[in-house]
């Protein structure tokens, strides 16, 4: 189907609306909807939070009886099943819209073409594929989880201009400036889970939570902060409840490897954890480390769409070498830390350039005195 310039304009507005839900919709996708009649927008809305009305319902409520005969522009195929809310395809049929244009089909097996079929069988004209590539970017995590049963992983790194993350004595506060650190909080807030290791928690006494200030809350119209699940690898049982990590609100998943060598004495001295802490025994490797791919599969089973990896060189390097990272956010500070400082990732050894992971630069943005680089993993098919 050939779409007009007006069709594209209305779908772009729907995409803009959907983007407003990026802090709050998890585990649901971000969806926007615009209702148009006689060349005028008569209703619009976006999905705001799981368990609350979907984008189509908000748009229909705004349009009222005027929705009859309208065209609906939706960033994702309307759902056809009853979950915590009713099916949006049914709501559009009841409102007697004339046409529904979807940016893309929903890969969720509970929908996956059924919504569009339901609309078509009710006599509503249906089309899809309008600005599909742009709509995909709204829900990289949800789509990956639905398609292959894994969350989308973004690795955050911060380094000096010469690629160092800490001095030889371990000191690393602060490589980047305050603006970059505030920027990190916004990225954390958009993810379902934050993944790190015991080393990071112990060395930095890291909280790994979201700390948005009042200005950020006001700018993004957020009444409160949603804390992502904090997933911490600790197969050697080194963490204790007195650490700052455990003094913050929000759920924590402590991950242990089934194959790790742990003495009875170490197990016996384990403390009682707060109610917000859950321990997970995960599939392990022969060396006693957690099977990282198995962990990602487990997180997907727990409805985790997106993971923000903020860890030390060892864990980040292992994830990178196993090609489990989809994209990177790298902050480069205008500092030179010297040859004896610690490197960015522990990887290799590589013996040929064909073994070296290849990335694609997709964005470069100044953040205060630092530069934020966005890179995507290139997959070899």
Beta 193-197 vs 229-233: how paired, if at all? parallel
Count CA atoms closer than 13 A to 3's CA, side-chain side: 20
Say if residue 111 is preceded by a cis peptide, omega within 30 of 0. no
Q: What is the mean pLDDT of the chain?
A: 91
Residues contacting 270, CB < 8 A, separation 6+ = 237
Provide mean pLDDT across the span 122-147. Answer: 95
Both tokens assigned to 374: 């966005």
Q: What is the pLDDT of residue 334?
A: 96
**Torsion angle, CA of 138/140/145/151, rounded to 10 degrees?**
-120
Which of 104, 46, 112 lies closest to 76, judged by CA?
104
pLDDT in tens, 37-87: 999 999 999 999 888 889 999 999 999 999 999 999 999 999 886 666 668
pLDDT in tens, 231-253: 999 998 999 999 999 999 999 99
Give the number of other CB atoms < 10 A from CB of residue 271. 11
Using 50, 70 and 90 to split pLDDT, how confident is the model at 381?
Answer: very low
Residue 267 has pLDDT above 70, yes or no: no
Measured distance CA(317)–CA(314) in Å, rounded: 5
Among candidate residues 16, 38, 44, 56, the one labeled active-site is: 56
Measured distance CA(314)–CA(152) in Å, rounded: 20
Please say whether the beta carbons of 113 and 121 come within 8 A.
Answer: no
Measured distance CA(289)–CA(307) in Å, rounded: 19
Kindly state the percentage of the chain with pLDDT values over 90: 72
Buried b (16+ CB within 10 A) or exposed e, 93-130: bebebebbbbbbbbbbeebeebbbebbeeeebebebeb
CA angle 256, 236, 304 (to 5 degrees): 30
Residue 151 or residue 381, greater confidence: 151
Q: What is the pLDDT of residue 50?
A: 84
Cα separation of the two ends of the chain: 30
Structure-token match 């065209």, residue found: 71
Residue 325 has pLDDT above 90, yes or no: yes
- Exposed / middle / buried, residue 16 (Cβ in 10 Å: 0-12, 13-18, 19+): middle
Using 50, 70 and 90 to split pLDDT, how confident is the model at 378?
Answer: confident
Residues contacting 92, CB < 8 A, separation 6+ = 56, 60, 72, 78, 100, 119, 124
Which of 30, 33, 8, 28 lies closest to 100, judged by CA?
33
Both tokens assigned to 335: 């500092």
Residues contacting 320, CB < 8 A, separation 6+ = 155, 345, 347, 357
Both tokens assigned to 150: 């894994």
Is 56 a residue of the active site? yes
Structure-token match 């242990």, residue found: 256
Q: What is the pLDDT of residue 270?
A: 73
Count CA atoms closer than 13 A to 375's CA, side-chain side: 19
What CA–CA distances, in Å, run from 30 to 16, 35, 150, 184, 294? 10, 17, 18, 21, 26
Sequence length of the chain is 381
Residue 266 has pLDDT above 80, yes or no: no
Measured distance CA(271)–CA(239) in Å, rounded: 10
């Amino acid at each position: 189907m050939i779409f007009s310039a007006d069709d594209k304009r209305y779908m772009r507005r729907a995409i803009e609306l959907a983007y407003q839900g990026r802090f709050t919709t998890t585990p649901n996708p971000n969806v926007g909807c615009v209702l148009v009649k006689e060349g005028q927008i008569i209703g619009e809305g976006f999905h705001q939070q799981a368990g609350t009305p979907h984008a189509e319902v908000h748009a229909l409520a705004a349009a009222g009886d005027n929705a009859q005969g309208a065209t609906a522009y939706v960033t994702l195929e309307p759902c056809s099943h009853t979950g915590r809310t009713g099916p949006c395809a049914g709501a559009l049929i009841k409102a007697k819209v004339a046409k529904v244009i979807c940016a893309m089909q929903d890969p969720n097996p509970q929908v996956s073409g059924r919504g569009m079929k339901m609309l078509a069988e009710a006599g509503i004209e249906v089309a899809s594929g309008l600005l599909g590539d742009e709509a995909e970017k709204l829900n990289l995590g949800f789509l990956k989880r639905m398609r292959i049963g894994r969350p989308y992983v973004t690795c955050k790194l911060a380094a000096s201009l010469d690629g160092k993350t800490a001095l030889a004595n371990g000191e690393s506060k602060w490589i980047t400036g305050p603006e970059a650190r505030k920027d990190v909080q916004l990225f954390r807030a958009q993810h379902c889970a934050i993944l790190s290791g015991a080393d990071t928690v112990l060395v930095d006494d890291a909280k790994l939570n979201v700390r948005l200030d009042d200005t950020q809350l006001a700018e993004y119209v957020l009444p409160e902060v949603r804390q992502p699940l904090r997933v911490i690898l600790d197969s050697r049982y080194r963490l204790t409840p007195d650490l700052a990590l455990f003094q913050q609100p929000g759920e924590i998943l402590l991950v242990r490897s089934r194959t790790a060598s742990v003495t009875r004495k170490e197990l016996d001295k384990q403390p009682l954890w707060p109610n917000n802490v859950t321990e997970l025994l995960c599939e392990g490797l022969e060396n006693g480390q957690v099977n990282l791919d198995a962990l990602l599969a487990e997180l997907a089973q727990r409805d985790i769409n997106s993971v923000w990896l903020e860890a030390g060189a060892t864990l980040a390097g292992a994830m990178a070498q196993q090609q489990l990272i989809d994209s990177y956010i790298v902050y480069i500070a205008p500092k030179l830390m010297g040859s004896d400082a610690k490197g960015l990732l522990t990887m290799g050894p590589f013996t040929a350039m064909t073994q070296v992971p290849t990335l694609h630069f997709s964005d470069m943005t100044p953040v205060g005195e630092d530069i934020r680089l966005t890179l995507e993993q290139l997959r070899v098919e």
